Structure 1
Amino acid sequence: MTSTRTRIAALSLLSAFWLAGCDSKGAEQSAPPAPEVSVSEVQQQTVSQWDNFNGRVEAVQSVQLRPRVTGYIDKVNYTEGQEVKKGDVLFTIDDRTYRAELERAQADLASARTQAQLARSESGRTEKLIGSQAISREVWEQRRSASTQAQANVLAAQAAVDMARLNLDFTQVTAPIDGRASRAMITSGNLVTAGDSSSVLTTLVSLNTVYVYFDVDEATFLRYQRMSREGESAATAHHALPVKIGLVGEQGYPHEGKVDFTDNQLTSSTGTIRMRALLDNSQRLYTPGLFARVQLPGRADFTALLVNDKAVLTDQDRKYVWVLDAQNKAQRRDIQPGELANGLRIVQHGLQSDDRVIVDGVQKVFMPGMPVNAKTVPMAPASL
């Protein structure tokens, strides 16, 4: 009986050892392989840092076309929305009244000239008679005064002719600038009144160049002043600063211009100052009123460390990356990121120039010290 129990105990012990060995071998076989990740060396480049603002495109010249004489619109001579040249006749006002006024003024001028000629002749005759005392001095002075008055009447009549001719010219409403005309606000057959603020015929905007207006906060404005004083910027009083412009739907800032105006005071309610950039619009890329993204150089060129933006992760209020150590193990490194430059993220603190950063497969790394199977790839912008 005792020997039977001994044999059973021995068999149980052997079974336990055998099962334990099987479990150990299974655990070794089920250990996961190191995840595959892509790593890139931190890039050290000379970069320019830009400040970002929002602005609006505005026309360099914008003209509300109003009538300068009263009358009925006889004809609209342009296609709404088309580009026009300076001097093109856009509206014609009924000119019959003004032609008649010009003819009457010309007749008055002819009459005044005749009267002046007669008065001049009479004054000349009295000049000869006064010497021989054939007439009184009073008569001589009256004739001379009449001649002078007649000459003044000629000048007044000439001015009336000039005004009548000018009013006749004003019946041809012409474009004062090159640009694009808006829709006709008043059409044929309608009465317009000179000097009436409501009688806007149309609006013209110039297109060859455009402005982009944007507001700069006080701190940034003071930084630009310091840059100008210390020679970090080639601009004088912020003029001629290079700007980059991007429109809605465009990638980045593909257009370039120059700052040509900075206001003379800040707006106290907003703490901002108005600045303006001038852009070439020969290709008609810009329409007044468009929203524009604006970049200004924020500081002089400097050397910075850059990484692919995909490598930067967030842990509550901290930013970090996974860095490979000498044993190909991932180590967490907290960083202080900056702006984007050349498509990469500037790292202000936390990395060295020889660090290798995981850029693809970051979601496979769960904890510091985790081994990885790293493949080296070039450090490229996240968009590429």
Structure 2
Amino acid sequence: MQNKDSKRSRTWVFIVVAVVGMAFAGWWWKGRDAAAEGPAGAASAASGASAGRTLGGRFGRSGPQPVSVATVQRRDMNVIVDAIGSIASANTAVVRAKVSGELRALYFHEGQPVKAGQVLALIDPKPYEIARDQALATLARDQAQLENARADLARYKDLVAKDAAPRQQLDTQQALVRQLEATLLSDQAAVDNARLQLSYTRVTAPIAGQAGLKQADLGNNVTPGDANGILSIAQTQPAAVVFAVPDARLARIRQQLADKQPLAVQAWDRERKLLLAQGAVASTDNAIDASTGTIKVKALFANKDNSLFPNQFVNVRLQLDRLKDVLVVPSAAVQRGAPGIFVYVIADGQVSLRKLQILATDGDSTAVQGELKPGDQVVTDGADRLRDGGKAEVIKAPPAGASAASGRGRGHGGAASAAASGEVSGTAVSGGDRSRWMERVPPEMVDKLKAMSPEDRRAWLQEHRASAAGSAPTN
């Protein structure tokens, strides 16, 4: 019995010793690995803690959301309607020959301006000169016959008065005189027509404008039935721009036209960088396009410098109205969501949602009406992670030439903001003393950052900031 108890006791002692030995062996190997890592392991642990502080303090779950802001203003703002239009000449004329014949001369330069009445071409005039001379000869012959008939009529009147000739002969002579007078009128008309046809051999410009390319060459036979004519002339001073606006704007446009108030129109190039011309609305179409819900509007431009060409596409800006003394915010600050249309306002780091109504938009500015007042700071960048009642930190753009040291005085998160916005200069990175932002960068990245170019360094810092911000939850 005692032998059994003794064996059982030795077994438990062996088990306890084995467990203690395994625990000691594990402790020894763990200490060996830590010793092998040495300073590098400690630096890695420190860098992890530093990175954790960076993410937690600047972009972490407990820190405020970095945002950019702009100030609400109260001022006048134009109500602008943007559209795409095409240039149309005020008048376009296809110059055709009015008589048939050989084209003998051209007196214009293609693409150059011409004046109204200017001679542009000459058609062989010889056949028409001959026709004119024939008409003049016929007129002279009939005129001589009329003069002879009138002389005979005078004699017959004298004879009848003396009862020396019958009355019937006098009446016949009077009829002959009237007949020759009518013939003379016809001959005169024939002469005028011949002269007119002869004048048509000199082709003149019906309107002033810009000449197009010639459609007939010297030596060609031209006729009035030629489809292309000799050339075309486009009147580009003034030039017209036709564009379409929503039919909801029609009432205001017609009211302005009825009140004789000019509606200013600007024509810009395709990239909206160059202002081509300024003009005013002249008229509207007489019907709304039912398929698009728009109506065509025509504006006239003086076009003194000929910067507008027919069929040219331009970006049109129509100033429909001018709002007086309204609240204006950047268009980037206006948000749309479940609450409707709103902006985020920052005051002492506190975020508040303000609902509003849009009155008009002009490029980067929007006129609004709502729970705002001049001087309020509205969020223009970073609003996607904000909520009403949350916290936010305003990032201010540094002045030109500011050094990295200026970011060290910004308090909480100031260094990270400087790094993200490109305030860190190459000198600051390569300097002997490490600035606060470098303390938040893992040690193994410091040497790499020193070796980078300024552009690559800024790109890495911005990417680091973006990835850190992306891991933060919405406040």
| Structures share fold, TM-score greater than 0.5 | yes
Checking the alignment, whether the CA contact within 8 Å between 1:245 and 1:254 is kept in structure 2 is yes
Aligned to 2:230: 201
Structure-to-structure mapping, 1:158-173, within 5 angstroms = 158-173=188-203
Instruction: Give the alignment of 1:172-321 within 5 angstroms.
Output: 172-194=202-224, 196=225, 198=227, 200-225=229-254, 228=255, 233=256, 235-236=257-258, 240-251=262-273, 255-268=277-290, 270-299=292-321, 301-312=323-334, 321=343
Q: 1:284 to 1:377 in 2, by over 3 A?
A: farther
* 3-state DSSP of counterpart to 1:177: coil
- 1:239, 1:259 within 8 Å by CA — same for their partners in 2? no
What is the identity, as a one-letter code, of the residue corresponding to 1:162? D
Residues 364 and 216 from structure 1, CA distance in 2 versus in 1: closer, same or farther, beyond 3 angstroms?
closer
1:320-377, CA deviations, whole angstroms, 9 ceiling, x for partnerless residues? Answer: 6543232x24556566556433742334446443421234xx3498444344254389
CA distance in 2: counterparts of 1:289 and 1:317, whole angstroms? 46
Identity across the alignment (%)? 27
Aligned to 1:19: none
Worse-matched range after superposition: 90-99 or 347-356: 347-356
1:116 corresponding residue in structure 2: 146
Higher helix proportion:
2
Counterpart mapping for 1:22-37 below 5 A? 26=49, 29-30=53-54, 31-33=56-58
| Structure 2 residues not aligned, in runs of 5+ | 1-19, 28-44, 59-63, 400-475
Q: Determine the C-alpha separation between the residues in 2 that align with 1:265 and 1:297.
A: 22
In structure 1, what is the equivalent of residue 90 of structure 2? 60
Match of 1:324 among 329, 336, 346: 346
* 1:116-135 C-alpha deviation (Å, 9 max, x unpaired): 11111111111111111222
- Aligned partner of 1:346 in structure 2 is 367
Residue of structure 2 equivalent to 1:145: 175
Taking a change above 3 Å as real, the CA distance of residues 346 and 239 of structure 1, as seen in their structure-2 partners, is closer
Shift in CA distance, 277/371, structure 1 to aligned 2, threshold 3 Å? closer
What SS does structure 2 have at the residue aligned with 1:119?
Answer: helix
Paired position in structure 1 for 2:157: 127
Measured in 2, the distance between the counterparts of 1:70 and 1:176 equals 18
Q: 1:300 to 1:372 in 2, by over 3 A?
A: closer
TM-score for both structures, normalised by structure 1? 0.78
Whether the aligned pair in 1 keeps the contact of 2:354 and 2:370 (CA below 8 Å) is no
In structure 2, distance between residues paired with 1:365 and 1:260: 45
Summarize the Cα distance change of 1:187–1:318 in structure 2 as closer, same or farther, 3 Å threshold: farther
Q: Give the drift of 1:309.
A: 3.3
TM-score normalised by length of structure 2: 0.64
- Which residue identity lines up with residue 100 of structure 1 in the other structure? I
* Structure 1 residue matching 2:305: 3-state secondary structure: coil
Q: What CA distance in whole angstroms lies between the structure 2 residues aligned with 1:180 and 1:301?
A: 41
Aligned residues of 1:192 and 1:199 also touching (Cα < 8 A): no
Equivalent position SS for 1:206: strand
Please give the root-mean-square deviation of Cα atoms over the aligned residues, in Å: 3.6
Q: Secondary structure at the match of 2:98?
A: coil
Contact 1:67/1:199, CA 8 A, preserved across alignment: no
Asked if the contact 2:343–2:379 (Cα under 8 Å) also holds between the matched residues in 1, the reply is yes
Match of 2:128 in 1: 98
Q: How does 1:359-374 map to 2 (within 5 A)?
A: 359=380, 362-363=381-382, 366-368=385-387, 369-374=390-395
User: Could you tell me whether the CA contact under 8 Å between 1:305 and 1:346 is conserved in 2?
Assistant: yes
Quote the offset at 1:69 in angstroms. 0.8
State which structure, 1 or 2, has the greater radius of gyration over its C-alpha atoms. Answer: 2
Q: Measure, in 2, the Cα distance between the counterparts of 1:274 and 1:263.
A: 5
Count how many residue pairs are aligned between Structure 1 and Structure 2: 349
CA shift, 1:79, in A, is 1.5
Moved more, 334-343 or 201-210: 334-343
Select which of 51, 58, 72 maps to 2:81.
51
Structure 1 residues 251, 203: closer, same or farther in 2, change over 3 A? same
Kindly state the Cα deviation for residue 197 of structure 1 after the two structures are TM-superposed.
5.2
Q: Any idea what the Cα deviations from partners look like across 1:285-331, whole Å, max 9, x if unmatched?
A: 211111233333444524332223344467799766543232x2455
- Is residue 68–residue 382 contact of structure 2 (8 Å, CA) maintained in 1? no
Equivalent pair of 1:179/1:205 in contact (CA under 8 Å): yes
Summarize the Cα distance change of 1:247–1:199 in structure 2 as closer, same or farther, 3 Å threshold. closer
> 1:355 pairs with 376, 394, 403, which one?
376
**Aligned-partner residue type, residue 84 of structure 1:** V
CA contact (8 A) 1:85 1:177 kept: yes
Please give the secondary structure, in 2, of the residue aligned with 1:39. strand
Between Structure 1 and Structure 2, the one with more strand by share is: 1
- The secondary structure found in structure 2 opposite 1:128 is helix
Q: Distance in 2 between matches of 1:254 and 1:335?
A: 36
Q: Which amino acid aligns with 1:290?
A: Q
Q: Shift of the alpha carbon at 1:211?
A: 1.4
Post-superposition Cα deviations, 1:34-86, rounded to whole Å, max 9, x if no partner, equal 67654332112222212233322111111111111111211222111111112
Residue 375 of structure 1 corresponds to which residue in structure 2?
396
Give deviations 1:202-224, integer Å, cap 9, x for gaps. Answer: 11011221112223433321354
- The residue that corresponds to 2:110 in the other structure is 80
The 8 Å contact of residues 265 and 279 in structure 2, kept in 1 or not, is answered as yes
Contact 1:322 1:333 in 2 (8 A): yes
| Gap change, CA 1:312 and 1:268, over 3 Å in 2 | closer
Q: 1:357 to 1:300 in 2, by over 3 A?
A: closer
1:372 alignment partner, SS class = strand
